[in-house]
Structure 1
Amino acid sequence: MGSKQPTTPPLLSPEPTPGRGSFGARVRAYFFTGLLVAGPLAITAYITWWLIALIDGWMRPLIPTAYNPETYLRFSVPGVGLLAAFVGLTLLGFLTANLVGRSFVAFGERLLDRTPFVRSLYKGVKQIFETVFKQDGTSFRRVGLIEWPGPGLWSICLVSEHTRGRLAAAMPGDGYLNVFVPCTPNPTTGYFVVMHESLIKDLDVSTDEAFKMIMSMGIIQPEDRLPQLAALPPQAAEPSLP
């Protein structure tokens, strides 16, 4: 009796590639290949164009007519408002950096401090901006895993700051952190949780990688760094001894 050659089960057969299989399979493969190339480019271009148009709509009415290129041209110039916003914010930061600018800002903040409701809103928004955008800050740069929403269920969290002030005084003991547990696929919504640092497992991933994993519902995962280390020659992977 001759031995039978092993065959691949139909469910485990590889995907058809261009040049193999029937004409329909090749067309299907070509279509999805083109979709993978054009889809991300189209979505990125759409979001970028929408953002530029949004900022242009806000800033174009504030540009003096004499300095607006559309006054002399017969067509709209995209990005004029974005450029004006960049120049205006940079100039505002330059003027605020000196003594006169700081005096005007302090005077305006004193006026807002006397206005009900606006006072609390302004202080809260300003504190968030100062915490997130400060150059030496560590907010949301630490990614971790916590057992959430129950035992045995793990969720990605972003560490915002150490718990301080009256909130820390109300906690039993020290070593608590303020963490943000984002929702998927919209990471701008989530839960604010105060947890002890010992309950947070640090992840060796960046904030960008964590957001990609959350927005893709786990489809896009951070690449493992171990194969890259294994691919190095032995003398490069092992530290040299003195």
Structure 2
Amino acid sequence: MKHIKMTLRGYLAAGLLIWLPVAVTLWVLNLIIGTLDQTINLLPRMWRPESLFGFDIPGLGVVLAFAILLGTGFMAANVLGQKLLDLWNLILTRTPVVSTIYNSVKQVSDTLLSDSGQAFRKALLVRFPHQDAWTVAFQTGTPAGQVKQQLGEEDFVSVYVPTTPNPTSGYFIIVHKRDTRELEMSVDEALKYVISMGVVAPPAPADVRKQESDERN
């Protein structure tokens, strides 16, 4: 009987290992697609599928969102489109209340999405939450403005410490550069390491080089 219970437990664990990643992936995709699908509400009611065809078309909002992003990017690539975007930015930056939110979000998005930006380009080890502990973090830049003036001429870096297993929440901290250790891993590898709570560890650089050498030979 004990052997049967252990076997059933093993089968259950094996099944869970197979289906859990699938279930979480489907849940995330459903959340993303469901959110993007709300883009269809931007259309006038008479142009929506339920009015034209009498039924809803799942995923049409995703196509519409993709088309809007593609069209906006194409428009921004020419002179006339750039002038329209400049006018749009001017209106939003001069509107009370809206300007505060818009400017903050725009600064963050420009930093994160710009090819020249350094945000989230480097994975680090930092001492957190106390001096005797280490955790994985991402460098987001260096202190500037009043913060830099208060800290003086010492070498500090700004880092984002993600939480586990949800890396979209975390802590922004400023630390001495000497108290950080740069990791030879990509941001994707570091995120996998954080999300898996340290279970999925990327190989050490020496192991990667040895593997590449063995493959060449």
Normalised to the residue count of structure 2, the TM-score between the two structures is: 0.83
**How far off is 1:206 after superposition?**
2.0
SS in 1 for 2:161: strand
Q: What is the aligned partner in structure 1 of residue 27 from structure 2? A: 46
**How far off is 1:85 after superposition?**
0.4
**How many pairs were matched up?**
216
**How far off is 1:34 after superposition?**
1.6
Unaligned runs of at least 5 residues, structure 1? 1-20, 238-242
The answer to whether structure 1 residue 147 and structure 2 residue 127 are counterparts is yes
Q: Which amino acid aligns with 1:34?
A: G
* Contact 2:49 2:57 survives alignment (8 Å): yes
1:228 and 1:115, CA in 2 relative to 1: closer, same or farther beyond 3 A?
closer
Q: What is the aligned partner in structure 2 of residue 211 from structure 1? A: 191
**How far off is 1:41 after superposition?**
0.8
Higher-Rg member (1/2)? 1
Unaligned runs of at least 5 residues, structure 2? none
Separation in structure 1 between the aligned mates of residue 209 and residue 195 of structure 2, nearest angstrom: 28
Q: What is the aligned partner in structure 1 of residue 12 from structure 2? A: 31
RMSD: 2.8
* Contact 1:142 1:202 survives alignment (8 Å): yes
* Contact 1:213 1:221 survives alignment (8 Å): yes
* Contact 1:182 1:190 survives alignment (8 Å): yes
Normalised to the residue count of structure 1, the TM-score between the two structures is: 0.76
Q: Which amino acid aligns with 2:69?
A: L
Out of 173, 179, 198, which is 2:178 matched to? 198
SS in 2 for 1:22: helix
**How far off is 1:168 after superposition?**
2.5
Out of 75, 87, 92, which is 1:112 matched to? 92
The answer to whether structure 1 residue 167 and structure 2 residue 151 are counterparts is no
Q: What is the aligned partner in structure 1 of residue 43 from structure 2? A: 63
Higher relative contact order (CA 8 A, sep 6+): 2
* Contact 1:52 1:78 survives alignment (8 Å): no
1:93 and 1:23, CA in 2 relative to 1: closer, same or farther beyond 3 A?
same
1:64 and 1:121, CA in 2 relative to 1: closer, same or farther beyond 3 A?
closer
| Structure with greater helix percent | 2
